[in-house]
Structure 1
């Protein structure tokens, strides 16, 4: 077991999601920044799909009740073991009774904590992920929670730390493909002109964007769109003209036109973008 002693704004159990349930009205959920969870699992010798902890902005404290191996990736937050600073994206060994703490992340939104053996809470529909939109999966963590750890895999970590990309960039460049409803806009290409800013209205469901510079996105069709399926990375545009980028817990259907879809490799970067972060879209080749 590992004991939750403190939780910041939000901490949830996440793995790589529960695909295959769209026909039952259930989205995949899973880690918002999938690459960071995969890396954390690799550092502790887990298969990439094992469940870990997604931590919003930091503020998490965990106490080991037996020896365990952990790693933290994603948004860089100052980390300590029994008050001693430890490295980001590195392999950490906790002795029984020791406490691991995460401070507030300096950049990015979400950090990921993996424990060798994985967090082994009961799965729901084949996944241990919390879906914040539907309420499916284990509830958000609270102080006093005791999290079971699974048996250690046979493979062993063979690195002590991993080089990671710097999240502190002035402007994110995000690649996107126009469609499927780009013909509903007067000039869908305006998406790629000027810059956008992540608004304060952002969570695991999606990130709303405000125009920082450049022409607005204006609809050229007055009728409403019948409800249709939505995928991860869809850029949906409501009547306000403020695009919403759908993230891990997005609804599986929607009634507003999707002007473009972000390429899969760039979705994790949007999931780490804080309110106020500037970004520009570039046409994917």
Structure 2
């Protein structure tokens, strides 16, 4: 049984996301996809979906939707108050929402980004193999507005089995293991020490493109400009003001500022939930931490 959900309250920034569109960086298209991958996959699993099903990613203020058919919904990620037609229901667990009822995922109590997974997933038209909204290139569905309608996929034949799992926590302090390179030689020895010993704070100017920081500036040892080169997820780029920027899912695929190091992808999930003002430290990644990051949680 298919159907649709109507957006009753769009919130500050709500987008459709899945696992992203990989393999298109050579055409200038970033990956996009859910920022908090573990939370998005867990929400999908509890809703009876595969890990790559499209769902909603909210930012700070949540959103509200009205399905036109009965649907199983899981609200996860950043903890928030969840109601159906004004009645409190469970956060982080499957909730059956009747046709025509309004499910409201309220403002985040902790963290930054919430996820709404619907049984059967959301099925807007894919672009380059993904249904994800990309804020940088504009590919995929536009950020949601009140009144938008999104199609639902076929509901799972049988409800998901009972499941009890811990949700990822929201960091009080963000610690990102950093592997230096490829342009760390562009910086002074003092800048390299500062990078792994100082405490930064996350700037309010952060978004899905990058995590901007406030704190001590890093000093370049060279003058002149670096030719544009490829950028990867987790690259830590240093613009002229000296404040590191950690590239997230909607990052540009090329850039001309030096990249002092790279944060392994699994370590970035916590960055999705770190609000403005959160303390941030970079640590030197060892062989052990790199292996742990590759293997994931």
TM range (shorter): over 0.9
Deviations 1:26-83, CA, capped at 9 Å, x for gaps: 1111111111111111111111001000111133111121110010111111111121
Partner of 1:191: 195
Do the aligned residues in 1 keep the contact of 2:46 with 2:74 (CA within 8 Å)?
yes
Q: Within 1, Cα distance between the matches of 2:73 and 2:164? A: 11
Q: Within 2, Cα distance between the matches of 1:129 and 1:252? A: 17
Corresponding position: 1:132 with 2:135: yes
Aligned runs of 1:58-77 on 2, under 5 Å?
A: 58-77=61-80
Do the aligned residues in 2 keep the contact of 1:89 with 1:161 (CA within 8 Å)?
no
Do the aligned residues in 1 keep the contact of 2:236 with 2:260 (CA within 8 Å)?
yes
Do the aligned residues in 2 keep the contact of 1:43 with 1:161 (CA within 8 Å)?
no
Partner of 1:143: 146
Partner of 2:241: 240
Please report the RMSD computed on the Cα atoms of aligned residues, expressed in angstroms: 1.4
Give the drift of 1:246: 0.5
Partner of 2:89: 86
Q: Within 1, Cα distance between the matches of 2:88 and 2:178? A: 39
Aligned runs of 1:19-58 on 2, under 5 Å?
A: 19-58=22-61
Do the aligned residues in 2 keep the contact of 1:196 with 1:210 (CA within 8 Å)?
yes
SS in 1 for 2:194: helix
Q: Aligned pair count?
A: 281
Do the aligned residues in 1 keep the contact of 2:82 with 2:104 (CA within 8 Å)?
yes
Q: Within 2, Cα distance between the matches of 1:191 and 1:79? A: 40
Give the drift of 1:153: 3.6
Give the drift of 1:178: 0.9
Give the drift of 1:164: 1.3
Partner of 1:261: 262
Q: Within 2, Cα distance between the matches of 1:131 and 1:216? A: 30
Q: Give TM-score scaled by structure 2 length.
A: 0.91
Deviations 1:74-114, CA, capped at 9 Å, x for gaps: 11111111212222211111111211101110221110101
Deviations 1:220-261, CA, capped at 9 Å, x for gaps: 011211100101111100110011110110000000011111
Show structure 1 runs of 4+ deviating over 6 A.
none
Do the aligned residues in 1 keep the contact of 2:176 with 2:281 (CA within 8 Å)?
yes
Gaps of 5+ in 1: none
Do the aligned residues in 1 keep the contact of 2:49 with 2:156 (CA within 8 Å)?
yes
Corresponding position: 1:12 with 2:34: no
Q: Within 1, Cα distance between the matches of 2:245 and 2:46? A: 33
> Which structure: greater helix fraction?
2
Q: Within 2, Cα distance between the matches of 1:253 and 1:168? A: 30
Do the aligned residues in 2 keep the contact of 1:41 with 1:115 (CA within 8 Å)?
yes
Going from structure 1 to structure 2, the CA distance change for 1:25 and 1:155 (only over 3 Å counts) comes to farther
Deviations 1:131-177, CA, capped at 9 Å, x for gaps: 001111111111111211111244642235532133151x2222111
Do the aligned residues in 2 keep the contact of 1:180 with 1:260 (CA within 8 Å)?
yes
